[in-house]
Structure 1
Amino acid sequence: MPLNLPEGKRLAVNIGVDFDAQCAPNGDTSKLSPAFLSRGDFDVEVGAPRLLALFGKYQIPTTWCTPGHTLITFPDSIRSVLDHGHEIAAHGAYHESVPSLTEREERRLMELQLSQHEKIVGQRPRGYRSPAWDFSDSTLGILEEFGFAWDSSLMGRDFIPYRPRPVVVHREEPHEFGPPSSVLELPVSWYMDDVPALDHVPGMLAGLMSTEGVFARWRDTFDYAYENEPGGVVTLTVHGLVSGRAHAITMLERFIRHTRQHDDVWFATLSEIHDRWSD
């Protein structure tokens, strides 16, 4: 089912910024060496301002998926994002590994991050992106319980929003599917994320691909959606500590220019895209 896009628009595009700053991967604080913390410094002091300047240049509204730890540690940066007209969404309390949490701890961290959003942003977020890009068995129900309108963590589609269902997994019998959720899924893809392709963390992530190959992947994904999925949405995920680097932000600007060759492409926040969906 396609989105009800604004008149004259064929395809929606969202650029989502995962504003992780100094949060550790999967919440593992043992990885927070001085060198790793300096990556977070770059995100806050260099990467985020460069992205804000780029989005301002092309007047593109974006969604910044932000851990509660980033909110309370760098509130001035959050105010800058808001002052530039962008959306702040939930992204965990401290970039925790959601699938490894107990239901009780996951609910506690949800309450914590929502209180941090209310304190720093001034309101609760409408949407959520799991820092793990994955759920526990409890996550979907917790999102429903806390009244989230949308999620952007799962990969059951590529260009069309959908309502995810809980699944009971069986090995020798068919899986059992629950009812569609009240939460609308705005799907993501590792193919449309800058970290796996471009980042490098010794002992954790190789990355370091050519920007030419990554740009070709992003361009081809957009071109396919534009030609074959009218009423769909392309979601791109970037990080200031990756796409804020000189070589990567140049590639990101090339992608923006490519998409803007089409007058009927609509850049929007994830909440704006959610509001264009009807079942």
Structure 2
Amino acid sequence: MSSSEDAGTRPAGERRAAPPAWPAGHRAALIVSIDVDGEYGVIAHHGADDWYWRAQALYDLEAGVWRLLEILADYDVKATFCWVGRAAEDRPDAVLAAHRAGHEIATHGWDHRTYASMTRDEQREDLTRTRDLLASLTGTTPVGHKSPFWRFNEHTVPLLQELGFRWNMDIAAGDLPVAMRPHPELAPVIQLPPSRLWDDYSFFVDWVTPPRHAFELWRDDLDVLRAEGKLMCLTLHPWVGGRPGPSRALTQFLDYAIALGDVWIARADHVALWWQERERDLAAGSPS
């Protein structure tokens, strides 16, 4: 792998750095991200002719996204909604509902095709098309991106940096944000670490388990991360975690996280901006 490829795909790890002093004395941070795929995620995975999966995924925009919005409102939690462009085109009312409720709107590809096999020009077109549609719907330009399937290549992070994106949630190189600077002269892209273990799909599609199993793992991971002063990035899909039973995993987890009283539950853009400012202060010699 060349040095330029390395700069765009391998962030420097945290190397057991001292835990950050999160805002307002919080001991850890939690991001709730919602991947709104519509039916396009299963089309990209199973094909357009697989109507079983397409029918399952219709739940995403018809019911699941609305249940998740209600839960988040009940808990007064602001989340990050990562939108597939075609899903946003199908249901702009859902995009606006999330935006007006104070949630962040981020990009998740135009039609959920993997970025791993896209050329640089194809990715640029996909990113700008999705970003511009979401900006036209909400009046706010997205600053965050999560690649479909979390699959990307050496072009992705440099392009995000060139296009002015501020955060990306594709690379799990540790349990803290990492600033990536493939172009040293440009503002960094803050890499926020995801995990398959924090993804509802792993529990309720790959393996069909009771909601309490997801809650218990998320709770235990949050306990460890809280002790270490780190970050957890939860991923939900409305057609999966927005169903009646699986949604209980989210409500139980929010009950637990909020009751701790010292976990900063924030949108991805707020965490990324805070981290970027922290890095700037550290570089200038100020305390974190």
- TM-score tier by shorter-chain length is 0.7 to 0.9
- Please list, as runs of the form range in 1=range in 2, the aligned pairs for 1:67-146 lying within 5 A after superposition: 67-146=84-163
Displacement of 1:4 in angstroms is 4.9
**Aligned match of 1:169:** none
**Aligned match of 2:202:** 196
- Seen in structure 2, the aligned counterparts of structure 1 residues 32 and 4 have a Cα distance that, compared at 3 Å, is farther
**Aligned match of 2:267:** 269
Answer whether contact 1:26 1:131 (CA < 8 A) is retained. Answer: no
Task: Kindly provide the amino acid, as one letter, of the partner of residue 149 in structure 1.
Answer: R
Answer whether contact 2:43 2:50 (CA < 8 A) is retained. Answer: no
- Please list, as runs of the form range in 1=range in 2, the aligned pairs for 1:192-271 lying within 5 A after superposition: 192-199=198-205, 206-228=206-228, 230=229, 232-271=230-269
| Residues 197-248 of structure 1 deviation map (CA, whole Å, 9 limit, x = unaligned) | 211xxxxxx42133333222111100101112x2x22111011111111111
Answer whether contact 2:82 2:106 (CA < 8 A) is retained. Answer: yes
Task: Kindly provide the amino acid, as one letter, of the partner of residue 204 in structure 2.
Answer: L
- Please list, as runs of the form range in 1=range in 2, the aligned pairs for 1:141-156 lying within 5 A after superposition: 141-156=158-173
Q: Which has the higher helix share?
A: 2
Task: Kindly provide the amino acid, as one letter, of the partner of residue 252 in structure 2.
Answer: R
Displacement of 1:251 in angstroms is 1.6
What percent of counterpart residues are identical?
28
Answer whether contact 1:24 1:31 (CA < 8 A) is retained. Answer: no
Answer whether contact 1:21 1:39 (CA < 8 A) is retained. Answer: no
Partner of 2:234: helix, strand, or coil?
strand
Displacement of 1:30 in angstroms is 2.7
| Residues 59-91 of structure 1 deviation map (CA, whole Å, 9 limit, x = unaligned) | 000000111111111101111111211110011
Structure 1 residue runs of 4 or more that deviate by more than 4 Å after TM superposition: 1-4, 178-181
User: Alignment RMSD, CA only?
Assistant: 2.1
TM-score when scaled to structure 2? 0.83
Answer whether contact 1:72 1:120 (CA < 8 A) is retained. Answer: no
Answer whether contact 1:161 1:186 (CA < 8 A) is retained. Answer: yes
TM-score when scaled to structure 1? 0.86
**Aligned match of 2:32:** 15
Displacement of 1:33 in angstroms is 3.5
Task: Kindly provide the amino acid, as one letter, of the partner of residue 40 in structure 2.
Answer: C
Answer whether contact 2:43 2:54 (CA < 8 A) is retained. Answer: no
Task: Kindly provide the amino acid, as one letter, of the partner of residue 112 in structure 1.
Answer: R
Structure 1 alignment gaps of length 5 or more:
167-177, 200-205
Which of 171, 175, 178 is 1:162 aligned to? 178
Structure 2 alignment gaps of length 5 or more:
1-16, 280-288
- Please list, as runs of the form range in 1=range in 2, the aligned pairs for 1:6-85 lying within 5 A after superposition: 6-25=23-42, 27=44, 30-31=47-48, 33-85=50-102
Displacement of 1:38 in angstroms is 2.5
Answer whether contact 1:163 1:181 (CA < 8 A) is retained. Answer: no
Displacement of 1:46 in angstroms is 1.1
